Amino acid sequence: MENNILQSLNKYFENSDNDRIYSDIEPDGYVTDYGNKYPLLRINDVANSDAMLEFAVMGQMYDVLNLSYVGRMKG
């Protein structure tokens, strides 16, 4: 699974410019069990065209996003 996540991230970031990336991020899209809200980024899963991988955006410094894997959703 780890390799699949890395391949999906590489493909997404190689094929997306900054405007696309920021428009794909949903503000307050992920809420933790403790009520903390984080922006959510969903990207295509390279292993399954009917699924997407979800990442909480934990932070950002300059143009580097700190992502935390949330899970996989089927479309």
The answer, yes or no, to whether residue 23 has pLDDT greater than 90, is: yes
Per the structure, how many domains does the chain have?
Answer: 1
Band of residue 28 on the pLDDT scale cut at 50, 70, 90: confident
Q: Which residues of 5-38 are buried (b: 16+ CB within 10 A; e: fewer)?
A: beebbeebeeeeeeeeeeeebeeebbeeeeeeeb
One-letter amino acid for residue 13 of the chain: F
pTM (global) more than 0.85:
yes
As a whole number of angstroms, the distance between CA 17 and CA 63 comes to 11
What whole-number distance in Å separates Cα of residue 35 and Cα of residue 24? 22
Range of the domain at 29: 2-74
For residue 17, the SS3 value is coil
